Amino acid sequence: MAKKRILFVCATGIATSTVVEEKVCDYLREQGIDFEADQRNVGSVPSIGNDFDLIVASTQVPYDIDTPVISGLPFLTGIGADETLKKIKDVLTK
Amino acid sequence: MDVSIEPGAIQANLTATSQDELFSKMAQPLVLAGKVHDDFAQHVIDREKAFPTGLPFENFGVAIPHTDPEHVIEPAVAVATLAEPVEFRVMGDPDQTVLVTLVFVLALNDGYAHLEFLQKVIKLAQDADSVEKMFSARDDRSLFELVKRFLT
């Protein structure tokens, strides 16, 4: 299976997406999934979003793109975090 | 550089009737301490309108307003518990609103360098017992002691 590419975005690209990225990447490494991650602000999604297999966003993504987008909010509130990790794994391994 | 937690920037039972007033009151000590530029509050206000930061927890709402790194001089945080809730829109889901009573204004300029600090903020917000202690702090000094303990 080819290496999967995940893009983490938030409004500034330095605050919440960093926390979300850490949690998701720890999980994916535990699961033995081969992936690489990048972190940007949401404004870069139209230009590079389609180069990724998945976008995990802790802000609204107001763009029409083909790449699936999953909300990173559960990793900040802790509510629904496990279900979201599973959803991320499903998207990357389907 | 470590994220600075100054006593003046930690305010218990702060009164604010709007986000604008709240951000101005929380940013002022950071401006006075030379941690952020004079117009920091306005940039936080604008940023919050475009990218809201309300986080709905089970029994309370938390907000973590912040803005772009160029408005920050040295990394710092301002924390306030609110006497009356202020309405925020939910991060990533702006059609939803949440009543917020705990606010962390993050003046950060490098996400990876401050990852550990951010994780502590998020972990603290997720820990209902610690948050309850913060709500019980009667004055700025007691809240400062708690924030210092929880975030360093």
pLDDT the model gives residue A13: 67
What angle do the packed helices A81-93 and A16-30 form, to 10 degrees? 60
Mean pLDDT of chain A: 92
Distance from CA of A23 to the nearest CA of B (A): 10
Helix residue ranges, H only, chain A:
16-30, 45-48, 73-77, 81-93
Q: What are phi and psi of B78, to 5 degrees?
A: -115, 135
Chain A residues touching B90 at Cβ < 8 A: 73
- Write down the catalytic residue from A10, A20, A42, A85: A10
**Continuous segment of H or E residues that includes residue B27:** helix B19-32
> A interface mutation test: which of B59, B70, B91, B129 has the most A CBs within 10 A?
B91
Q: How far apart are CA A79 and CA A83, in angstroms?
A: 9
B100, two tokens: 């917020």
Q: How far apart are CA B35 and CA B120, in angstroms?
A: 20
**Quick one: CA dihedral A10, A13, A18, A21, positive or negative?**
positive
pLDDT the model gives residue A1: 63
Cβ-contact B78, B67 below 8 angstroms: no
Of A11, A75, A78, the CB nearest to B47: A11
> B interface mutation test: which of A76, A82, A84 has the most B CBs within 10 A?
A76
Provide block-wise average pLDDT over 10 residues at a time, chain B (152 residues): 92 97 98 97 95 93 93 96 98 94 93 82 94 97 98 93
Q: Which residues pair with A71 in a beta bridge?
A: A57
Q: Which residues of chain A have pLDDT under 50?
A: none
pLDDT the model gives residue B2: 87
